[in-house]
Amino acid sequence: MIAADKKEFIEFMMSADVLRFGQFTTKSGRLSPYFVNTGNYRTGAQVDTLGKFYARLVKDTCGDQFDAMFGPAYKGIPLATVTAAALAREHGIDKPYFFNRKEAKDHGEGGSLVGYKPVDGDRIIIIEDVITAGTAVRETVPILQQAANVTVKDMFISVNRCEVGQTPGKTAVMEVKDQFGIDVHAIVTVKDIHEYLVDQGTYGDVLALMEQYMEQYCVF
């Protein structure tokens, strides 16, 4: 039986059409029977609820022991924003946040970072949507390291797909830990989604495809 908080988040994603079942090509080129698209959150109530889920995970993981949160463009931008708001409102943890532009601005204040300006010694956490192949993390870490001498020990995502990365036998999340020393924390994992579908008892066809996919691509 899946935990109540994980069940609540999965049903929240499904109600927002963020978690979908069918046939989808992921960033890694794999044909997946499920897909998570946080770009489908589109109402104030949805992002308010989403921020609460992320904020709870951040609080339970590292409390207030960090200096700022970073949301990689583009999907990480609203995620970091709503997480910062929920942390302050729900838990009394008021921390700055910042994000990057895809292209550096050459007028006004210039630069590629918007919001908080990191300084040497800062402890930064990253707020993202999902990790499939780890590509986004490899693009994000250099941006932070070029901004200041910061440390990044924790990253928070909606779903850990638990899929093998570039190294046989290791997931992208494991590779991120090995390469950058970053612990990735997910609100739910693909195992949680699978367990939820089993509990429902009405997703036989989807379950068969998910189990085949997990057997081929997932590492637990």
Residues 94 and 75: their CA atoms lie apart, in Å, by 22
Catalytic residue among 52, 105, 153, 194: 105
Helix (H, G, I), strand (E, B) or coil at 3: coil
Catalytic residue among 107, 177, 185, 194: 107
Active site residue 185: no
First-last CA distance in the chain: 19
Select from 133, 214, 208, 219 the least CA-distant residue to 176. Answer: 133
The first and second tokens of residue 3, run together, are 């935990």
- Extended strands (E) in 12-132: 19-25, 31-36, 68-71, 97-105, 111-115, 123-127, 130-131
Tokens 């550096």 belong to which residue? Answer: 104
Residues 162 and 159: their CA atoms lie apart, in Å, by 9
Active site residue 194: no
Interior CA angle at 23 toward 17 and 29, to 5°?
110
- Residues belonging to the active site: 105, 107
